[in-house]
Amino acid sequence: MLHHPNIDPVAIKLGPLAIHWYGLMYLLGFWGAWRMALRRARLAHVGWSRERISDLLFYVVMGVILGGRLGYVLFYAYDNSGHWLPLDDPMMVLRVWQGGMSFHGGLIGVLLAMGLFAYLQKLKYFEVADFAAVLVPIGLFTGRIGNFINGELWGKPTELPWGMVFETAPDLLPRHPSMLYEALLEGLVMFAVLWWVGGKPRPRGLLSALFLLLYGTFRFAVEFVRVPDTQLGYLHFGWMTRGQELCLPMLAAGLIILAWSLRKKEA
């Protein structure tokens, strides 16, 4: 049995200014993605300029922040009775400092931001999406490490030897460190697979399809050992969570894009 290190979520405090580890993990993720983007841009079949990468990063950052917050408000901002909180407090969408970000909302924001970027740069949409898909797992990894530092999104009780006691949980039972499962699968494993596959020229859309399928599969699986959001609980069949519900469109889109990409290769 392991014990969560119970790290102070505030990394630096300068008078009234508090810099949280979670925010630093976001910055680290963006920086890491930018560094790896520069390496990927040097591949012969990619050939992007440094300026184009910097411009794309700006669009992606805006998509992540705005989409992530809006997604949280749309998908998760409910009380225990199922009442949607923005009906009483519309300004909560702007209070990012109070916490609450959604990956699926951030993904939608990034998809829209990439569409605008591709239009302005006169690029094919999936040329942009395939480039970004390889890099997103870096941010997913650092984000889940931020969840671990905060001691949030822990899993169900377990008797496995790596079960971890979280002081932020309602009891002192050893639990699945589900945020570390996601850091491993959605971060390291996805990055390794996409970086390897993207090391050679591939049909347009293939990397985007793999990203959707891998993330959708990994997140859907981890949700089985992760405690659902208290205000939502299980939404369908007595076991399906909001995270699993939102992964289904990702999996469907991934299969459609994969079929289109492979058919395009054969043509």
Is residue 265 a contact partner of residue 203, using CB atoms and an 8 Å limit? Answer: yes
Is residue 105 a contact partner of residue 67, using CB atoms and an 8 Å limit? Answer: yes
131 vs 145: CA distance, rounded Å: 24
- Given a cut of 70, whether residue 35 has pLDDT beyond it is yes
248 vs 223: CA distance, rounded Å: 13
pLDDT band of 17, cuts 50, 70, 90: confident
Residues of the binding site:
144
> pLDDT tens digits for 38-50?
999 999 899 999 9
Among 83-87, 91-95, 128-132, 144-148, the least confident range: 91-95
For residue 258 the two structure tokens come to 């994969």
Among 23-37, 67-81, 101-115, 239-253, the least confident range: 67-81
> How much is the mean pLDDT over the chain?
91
Q: What percent of the chain has pLDDT over 70?
A: 97
177 vs 207: CA distance, rounded Å: 29
Place of tokens 């969840």: 147
- Given a cut of 80, whether residue 100 has pLDDT beyond it is no
- Given a cut of 80, whether residue 214 has pLDDT beyond it is yes
- Given a cut of 80, whether residue 66 has pLDDT beyond it is yes
pLDDT at 179: 97
pLDDT at 265: 63
Q: Of 148, 229, 245, whose CA–CA distance to 187 is shortest?
A: 148
pLDDT at 264: 72
